Every structure is written in C-alpha cells, then in structure tokens.
Chain A
Amino acid sequence: MKKRGNRRLIISLAVVALIYVAGFIVEQTCGSKSMAVTVLQKGAVYALIAVSMNLLNGFTGLFSLGQAGFMLIGAYSYAILTIPMAKRAAVYQYYDGGIVQFTIGMIPALLVAGIVAALFAALIGMPVLRLKGDYLAIATLGFAEIIRAFIQWDAIGPLTNGSNLLKTYPTLKTAMPGNTVLFTFIVVGICIGLILLLINSTYGRAFKAIRDDEIAAEAMGINLFHHKQMAFVISCFFAGIGGALLAMYQGTLQANGFKSAMTYEILLIVVIGGLGSVSGSIIASFLFIACSEWWLRFLDTETMIGDFKVPLLAPGFRMVAFSVVIMVVVLFFRKGIMGDRELWDLGSRRKAKGGSDIK
C-alpha cells in the first residue's frame, strides 16, 4: 500500500509540475496579453476560491454564501497594505492620503489578507454557525452584503478609500513580469496543497463526518461547533488570499465588483465540479472561466456568414448559451463533473470496488 501511495504521489507531483511548465510555456509563446493567459490567471484564482468554498460547502456540509464578502476583505487588506507610499496621496485624494502610512511586502500582504479574512470569519462564525442549512446560507449572504456596504462607507474612507478605486498596488503584471501565470499557479498551488493536506488529515475526516451526519458525528465525540468554526475560518483564510489574488489580477479594486453574483459564480463552479472534489473544483473553474471569458465570446458578436446574418447572436447571448450549458450539466451530471471523487483516485477506487487488492 505504501509503495503504491508513493508512486501515486510521484505521478501527481509530476502532473502538477507538467501543468506548471505548460502554463509557463503558454505565457512565453502567447504573450502576457493573450486570452489564454488571462484564462489561466483568472482560472487559477477562481480555482483557489472554489476549493476554499468546497472545503466549507462540499466537505463540511455548511451551505455558506459569504465567500464574496471574505474575498473582499482579503482584497482590501492586501491593497491597502501594499499601495506604495508615494502614490497614496493620489489614490486617497479625497481622504488626505489615508490613515495607513506604511507598506509591507507583497507576500506578507497576501498572508495578512488571509488572516484578516479569517479573523472576520471567526467573529461572524460565532453567531452564524449555530444555524443550519438554508438559514446559514441566508445569514452568510447577509454578512457578505454588509461587509461590502461597510467598506464603501464614507466614514471609514481614510482606511478603505470609500467607494473610490484602489489602485497602484502590486499586481500580477508587476509581481513577476512576464511570468504572471507561473506566479499565480505557485501561490494557488501552495494554498490548494495546504487545503488538500487538511482534508486528508484526521480533521478532514471529521469535517466529512459532520457533512454526512451531524448527529452521528457528535455521538462520535466530534465537537460540532469547534469543527465547523475551524472549517469556516480556514475556508475564509484562503478565500481572503484568493480575493487578494483577484485584486492582483484585476489591477484595480472596488468593493462594488464583489457582489453576491460573484458568490453564485463560485458556487456554480463548485457544484459543476462536484461537491466534495478538489480536482473537480479546479477543472470546473478553468472550464468556467474559459467559457465565460473566451470560448463563448463569439456568441456575443454579430456574425455574418456570406450574406446570411446568424440569428440570435448579439451581445448578451453568451450568457443565455452559458445558462443552457449549466442546466445540461446539472441535469445530466447531477453530482458534477467529478462527483465526490478526485482525479487521482479514479484508478485506485475502482480497483478497491472490485475487491482485487485491498490492504
């Protein structure tokens, strides 16, 4: 068993390395401005956020819709802490240069982004995690909206710049010029790796137990609140980092962009990928971003084939086609692309089912 486990680990690592190399090559050959690079960047960021949401919704069974709010906290923490001193006066022009008068490095700022989001999660989790099912979803959605409104509040403008843009913070383009994909992949890869390690630890098993049957989990001595809180805080930690990465991807940051629609997008990715499957979330997020940003673009442009004007193709039609795709997926792949399995488990699980070589 150990040998096989080792071999699987090596294969997985090799595949990951291959993906990294592929991402690197794509960027070098297509150039940083190409659509493929955009998709890889945004897809990777969304993958991290989707996996963090999956940790909560798919693995712990907590139906939370607060992801956009925690991303927002992470994004703002990152941006506020990294805007260069020289540019603060220009960015915070309505608030006398703001009150934060120091900057920290990009990587520490990413960490702080996660930690601030996690702190908020710990606070919000205390009352909210006593709720179950739909009620939890509504409460977290509400909190996310409150956070968005709060950040835009004029009174804390010196901190958050109110509803004005935050800009000039280090973005993907300036972080590792020419290697933006590799940078994103590395940060996202580390985060997802950490989540995977957690999921496969004894705590991950406890989370899954809570998802499967709360009453039985509690009877097994698992402290429900403690574990839910832990899953919530950790999920929001990575959502915060994801939010910061999204801010880096976007280049400018405004609270208005993080509406609940964003949470739904991520929820969609998680559901399409499969609740309880990390690899499913990753695959789905790249597919989702590729479809919405790239592959379905042609549907939005009026096209003429000879003299024939293709009907229906008009701005906005992309979303119609997209909705149909999603409905088909939900109808025919009820458990998403991966179900609750992982890509790297596909071979071995089937073997176990056949009962050929257990132990």
Chain B
Amino acid sequence: MSESKNNDNNVLRLTDITMQFGGVVAINNLSLEVNTGEIVALIGPNGAGKTTAFNCITGVYEPTNGAVYFHGKPIAVNHPQGKMVKQYSGINADKYKDQKAVVYTPDKITHMGIARTFQNIRLFKSQTAFENVLIGTHLRRTSNFLTASFRLNAKEEKAMREKARNLLEIVGLADVGDELATSLPYGKQRRLEIARALATDPTLLLLDEPAAGMNPQETDELGEFIVGIKNKFDLTVFMIEHHMNLVMDISDRIYVLDFGKQIAEGTPDEIQKNPVVIAAYLGVDEE
C-alpha cells in the first residue's frame, strides 16, 4: 500500500478519513488519492463504506477524523469533537487536532468543481430532461433574482440553454430533451444524471454505481461513454462500481474497501490477482 504523499498531480486526496456514526465505524482510516486525468475506481462488497466515502468528499457528511484535499486545498478537515472524543474508536485521533476544522456544504463543494451522480438516481422528477441539465448551469450564474426576473440576463440565459442543449447532444439525449426525466428508460436516466453533473463545469466527476441495473451491453457502452466524456471535458473520474468488467476495462487504478478499511490498491491487473481482494469478495475457506 502506498503512503499518500504530496503529489502535484493530486486532484483529490483523502488522508486518514474516519467516519463514525455513533458506535459504527463506516470508514476506518481511509487514505487515497486521485490524480489528474485518471479514472479511479472504488470497489468493495456491499456495506463497505464506498458511498459514505463519496458523501464525505461531497460534504454530505462531515468526516469524524481526517482531511480531504481538492487540488491541494482542504475541503474537509475534522478531528473527533464533543462526545465523539470518548466514543471514537479509530486511530490518528490526535493527528488533526491542531488543524482548523474545515466544513463546506455540498453546494460549495460543487462550486469548487466536484460533481457527482447518485446511486439511486436523483433526477428532478417533475422536469424535462432538458430542464434537468439546465438546472445544473444555475450555479455559474452571474444574475441575481431581479435581473433574472426582468430578463436582463437574456444573454446568459441563452448561453445556459445552449450549453444544456449541447450537453444533451453529447450524451445522446438530444431527441428526448422535452420528455419528463423520469419517463426515460433507466440507462438514459443514468446518462442524463451525468449530463446534469457535467453542466456544473466540474474538474472531478464522482460516479456512484453508474452501471447499476444495466445489462452487459449497456455496461460496455457506458464504459466507452465515460472514457469519452473524460477526454472531452478534461475530467478526472472517481467512481464506485460493482460491474467488474467495467472497472477492469476503464480504470487506471483501483482502491478496494472492506468493512470501511482499505484492503488493497493497485492497477486492475494487480487487484485481480490480489488474494486479499479475492478473499473479501468470495470469502475465505474456513478449513
């Protein structure tokens, strides 16, 4: 396992992240890094803490201990406080004591350039596909509610619409732009969610099980699609995925979590051969 060092290429770096809910340690001392232009996968059995890790990165949760850096800038720093001091059962409790705690709300983190999709698709259900993407452009607005109401931002509004239309085209949904988002087939909803995330101009894209519920052919297409948008938008991609074919095909590196702990890290080839990973997935022979 590599120690996380201060690499200039870091887009995202987690150091000693521990997330404890009451007595349950969901993530235990997780350190990882994602470098510019990489596709990194986070895998692990159900309940390993993968989505919790995403939630710590995007500000939905405040990690109990540890730090998250985005382009070298701390976006979450915390150490056990309050009654967590006594309850805390992780390690490195004192390591971040001297650092100022940093908390950002999810919207601020999206502003900085981290966009995400959700494991259980969260589209705006009463709105069309086009409107869903359009909402993603809202955060880069320069208008206030008055200039927007009186249409003094016509130019910006036009640019927003143009951008949303382009994104729909890129993800191949231009022909269903006027349909209700939730009436689309599952695979298209996944793409729409990615398009919506792209509308926020991210540099890092977090995908939470993008291939969930897809058949093998759709999964293959999705793999190409992810690589495609990654190159097109100069993105770095960090994803959680269960489809091993997809993970092995497109990721540059893989982190494996089990029971909140990182049990392996490496290239797809290394991970496939790693006995610890195999044991975690298939169980160990007791005899």
A positions within 8 Å CB-CB of B: 194, 197-198, 201-203, 205-206, 208-209, 211-213, 215-224, 230, 234, 276, 340, 352-353, 355, 358
0 or 1 for each of B90-125: is its CB under 8 Å from A? (1 = yes): 000000000000000111101100011010001111
Are B145 and A234 in contact, CB atoms less than 8 angstroms apart? yes
Q: A197–B131 Cα gap in the complex (Å)?
A: 17
The smallest C-beta distance from A321 to any residue of chain B, in angstroms, reads 33
Give Cα distance in the complex from A194 to B162, angstroms: 25
A218-B138 contact in complex given A201-B149, A213-B125, C-beta closer than 8 Å:
no
- CA of A162 to CA of B116 in the docked complex: distance in angstroms? 55
A340 CA / B180 CA spacing, docked (Å): 13
Measured CA separation A230–B144 after assembly (Å): 11
CA distance A221 to B148 in the complex (A): 18
Write 22 A-B pairs (CB below 8 A) sorted by A numbering. Answer: A201-B149, A202-B137, A203-B138, A212-B125, A213-B125, A215-B60, A215-B122, A217-B124, A219-B106, A220-B107, A220-B135, A220-B199, A221-B107, A221-B111, A221-B136, A222-B138, A222-B139, A223-B107, A234-B145, A353-B179, A358-B175, A358-B177
* B149 close to A205 (CB less than 8 A): no
B179-204 interface with A by 8 A CB criterion: 179, 196, 199-200
Question: Given A198-B145, A201-B145, A358-B177, does the pair A218, B106 have CB atoms closer than 8 Å?
Answer: yes
Residues of chain B with a CB closer than 8 A to A213's CB:
122-125
Contacts of A205 in B (CB 8 A): 127, 131, 134-135, 138
CB of B237, distance to nearest CB on chain A (Å)? 16
B178 part of interface (Cβ distance < 8 Å): yes
- The docked-state distance in angstroms from the alpha carbon of A201 to that of B157 is 8
> Would B118 and A197 count as touching, CB distance under 8 A?
no
Interface of A is mostly: helix
Contact status of A221 and B110, CB under 8 A, knowing A205-B134, A205-B138, A358-B175: yes
B153 to chain A, nearest CB (A): 8
**Which of B123, B139, B178 contacts A352, CB < 8 Å?**
B178
Residues of A within 8 A of B139 (CB): 220-222
B255 to chain A, nearest CB (A): 22
Bound together, the chains give a CA A353 to CA B176 distance in angstroms of 10
Q: Which 9 A-B pairs have the closest CB atoms?
A: A221-B139, A221-B110, A201-B148, A216-B122, A212-B124, A352-B178, A218-B106, A197-B149, A198-B149
Task: Kindly list chain B residues whose C-beta atoms are within 8 Å of the C-beta of A198.
Answer: 145, 148-149
Q: Which residues of B contact A (CB under 8 A)?
A: 58, 60, 105-108, 110-111, 115-116, 118, 122-127, 131, 134-139, 141, 143, 145, 148-151, 153, 157, 160, 175, 177-179, 196, 199-200
User: B200, A221: Cβ atoms under 8 Å?
Assistant: yes
Nearest-neighbour CB distance to chain A for B152, whole angstroms, equals 10
Residues of B within 8 A of A203 (CB): 138, 145, 148-149
B135 near A218: Cβ-Cβ < 8 Å = no
Q: CB distance A208 to B126 under 8 Å?
A: yes
Give the residues in chain A near B110, CB-CB below 8 Å. 218-221
Q: From A340, which residue of chain B is reached at the shortest CB distance?
A: B126
Residue of B nearest to A199 (CB): B149
Is A194 a contact of B126 with CB atoms below 8 Å? Answer: no
**CA of A230 to CA of B131 in the docked complex: distance in angstroms?**
21
Check if B148 sits within 8 Å of A202, measured CB to CB.
yes
A353 to B124, CA, bound (A): 18
Is B143 within 8 A of A202, CB to CB?
yes
- Tell me the complex Cα distance, A194–B137, Å: 23
- Bound complex: CA A287 to CA B126 (Å): 27
A358 touches B178 (CB 8 A): yes
Closest to B139 in A: A221
**CB-nearest residue of chain A to B201:** A221
> B135: which A residues are within 8 A, CB to CB?
205-206, 208-209, 217, 220, 222
Q: Chain A residues near B150: list those with CB within 8 A.
A: 197
Report Cα–Cα, A62/B121, bound state, in Å. Answer: 23
Nearest chain B residue, comparing its CB with the CB of A348: B178
Task: From the candidates B116, B151, B157, name the one contacting A197 in the complex (CB within 8 A).
Answer: B151
11 additional A-B pairs beyond A197-B150, A223-B105, beta carbons within 8 Å, are A198-B148, A202-B157, A203-B138, A220-B136, A221-B139, A222-B139, A224-B105, A224-B107, A230-B145, A340-B126, A355-B178
